[in-house]
Structure 1
Amino acid sequence: MLNNIIQKSFFKGLRQKVGEEQTKDAQKLFVEILEENKAWATDKPTEFNLIFTSMVLAAFRILKKYQYTDWEEIIRYCLMERTKKKQQFFMKLYLFFDRKPLKRIVKISKTKQVKHYGSQNFTHHIVKDTNQSFHLHVKKCFFFDFFCKHDALEIMPIFCSMDDIWGDLLLPHKHGVQFQRPQLLSKGDDHCSFKFDRTDAK
């Protein structure tokens, strides 16, 4: 159900940007990519992530085929910009009621590690977990490995920036938490680093 909703939303955005013909080409290619790479889906979380990445890879290849120089802007629109305000609305609401959100952020992160990513195609190393800080390293990332395998690492910065949808809303002076990502696989580092630190700690 969720997969269908996300696909419809993504391709609706693509249709708005490039028209019906190119969108149909991308949808057809998406099915082919998904079938060719079904062996990647070794657990339940990756079944969803494979659909997600195959959809984006298909759009990327079609946009390149038709020589869209603004392909990155188009994919960002399809993935994020169309729904960014709605997603941020709920995050803002949550932050309004929870002025010291570190504890909840940590709980959400640990839950997502299992439900959204799994342990077979992602590795999550918690390097610090205290009342003041939560630091997480991701050394193996399905998204990075998938796009690397398909010669499309240009897409990775877009995926990484999806965290900014909610990350940009965390204001240290207001919410007492600072969010940083000093290392990213997409920037050539050997891991992604997610750092949450209380700024109001005493």
Structure 2
Amino acid sequence: MNVIDKAIGAEAHWLMGRVMPRKFLGEVRKHLHHVAPEREKELIGAIRARAEEVEAADADMATDASSKGALAIGAVVLAAFETLLPLFDGDDRRTIRYLQHAMSPVLRRPYDLTFSTLNERDHALDKIEKTCRVMVKLYPARFEFDFQRPEPGLFEMNVRRCFWHDFFARHDATPVTTVMCAFDVNFMKAIDPAVSGLRAERTSLLSLGDSKCRFAVLETDDPLHGYGDALETRFADGEDGEDGEDGNG
């Protein structure tokens, strides 16, 4: 491993292993402070303790710095799901939807800042592609990406394999993967069609049973044509099994 790869791995470990768990638990703490203030400290402590157990049990997945960070945030999410489930009367879907809500603002500001600099009409799609190719280097080797330009006004980033999908499937909790999928909304929301002439969409997800996660950025003349997300439509409708169909844009 060269110096650049080590630096990227260290950055990913810090981001996923430290920053994301802290901010995610901060959002969870807000809810607990509202609904169970007398148990807030106890439940946060239980989540942290359970997450440590999961990390230790799944240490074989942490093969490098990036995957150690990915495992850390995955373990915290799984622990939060298990710990908070009774507060949602044992309702898996409501618990997961709340955790999606808690994950969605995590690192929103850095994404906004990164993509705001790309919201220019001059070669905007090329800039988006270049940024995505750089950012995916932060992810563990267990991820498999491919990039395509099927036509001049369309860029696709496909995730063929996902660390978190493998992790939650190992724990028989595949639908909980969608909590990590909620984080990606920041990327799509940060692309402003009114400024860049581009819109983002996610038409398929591994966590919903599709063969890939398909992210696309397309040219548009409609300044109000915001992002579209299969997670919001299909998970809300109960399509979270292993028999999903890939979207085609």
**Fold agreement, TM-score > 0.5:** yes
CA contact (8 A) 2:201 2:216 kept: yes
Q: CA deviation at 1:153?
A: 1.7
Q: Using a 3 Å threshold, how does the CA distance of structure 1 residues 62 and 49 change in structure 2: closer, same or farther?
A: same
What secondary structure, in the 3-state scheme, does the structure 2 residue paired with 1:143 have? helix
Within 5 Å, give how 1:169-188 maps onto structure 2: 169-188=190-209
Return the alpha-carbon distance in structure 2 between the equivalents of residues 155 and 104 of structure 1. Answer: 32
What secondary structure, in the 3-state scheme, does the structure 2 residue paired with 1:137 have? strand
Within 5 Å, give how 1:97-116 maps onto structure 2: 98-100=120-122, 101-114=124-137, 116=138
Instruction: Give the equivalent residue in structure 2 for 1:76.
Output: 100
CA contact (8 A) 2:203 2:214 kept: yes
* CA-to-aligned-CA distance 1:23-60 (integer Å, 9 cap, x gap): 11111001111111111012332111111101111111
Identify the match of residue 17 of structure 1 among 6, 31, 34: 31
The alignment's C-alpha RMSD in Å is: 2.6
* CA-to-aligned-CA distance 1:38-87 (integer Å, 9 cap, x gap): 11012332111111101111111111245454423542343234664x35
CA contact (8 A) 2:100 2:178 kept: no
CA contact (8 A) 1:176 1:199 kept: yes
Return the alpha-carbon distance in structure 1 between the equivalents of residues 53 and 159 of structure 2. Answer: 29
Q: Using a 3 Å threshold, how does the CA distance of structure 1 residues 113 and 93 change in structure 2: closer, same or farther?
A: closer
CA contact (8 A) 2:20 2:107 kept: no
Write the letter of the residue equivalent to 1:117. Answer: Y
**TM-score, normalised by the number of residues in structure 1:** 0.81
CA contact (8 A) 1:173 1:199 kept: no
**TM-score, normalised by the number of residues in structure 2:** 0.68
Percent identical among aligned pairs is 23
Q: CA deviation at 1:124?
A: 1.1
Return the alpha-carbon distance in structure 1 between the equivalents of residues 175 and 149 of structure 2. Answer: 31
Return the alpha-carbon distance in structure 2 between the equivalents of residues 107 and 129 of structure 1. Answer: 16
Deviating more after overlay: 55-64 vs 157-166: 157-166
Greater than 6 Å deviation, 4+ residue runs: none
Within 5 Å, give how 1:85-96 maps onto structure 2: 86-87=109-110, 89-90=112-113, 93-95=116-118
Write the letter of the residue equivalent to 2:55. Answer: L
Q: CA deviation at 1:162?
A: 1.9
Q: CA deviation at 1:127?
A: 3.2
| Runs of 5+ consecutive residues of structure 2 not aligned to the other structure | 1-13, 33-39, 222-249
What secondary structure, in the 3-state scheme, does the structure 2 residue paired with 1:178 have? strand
Write the letter of the residue equivalent to 2:96. Answer: E
Q: Using a 3 Å threshold, how does the CA distance of structure 1 residues 191 and 77 change in structure 2: closer, same or farther?
A: closer
Aligned residues: 196
Write the letter of the residue equivalent to 1:103. Answer: D
Write the letter of the residue equivalent to 1:10. Answer: F
Q: Using a 3 Å threshold, how does the CA distance of structure 1 residues 125 and 157 change in structure 2: closer, same or farther?
A: same
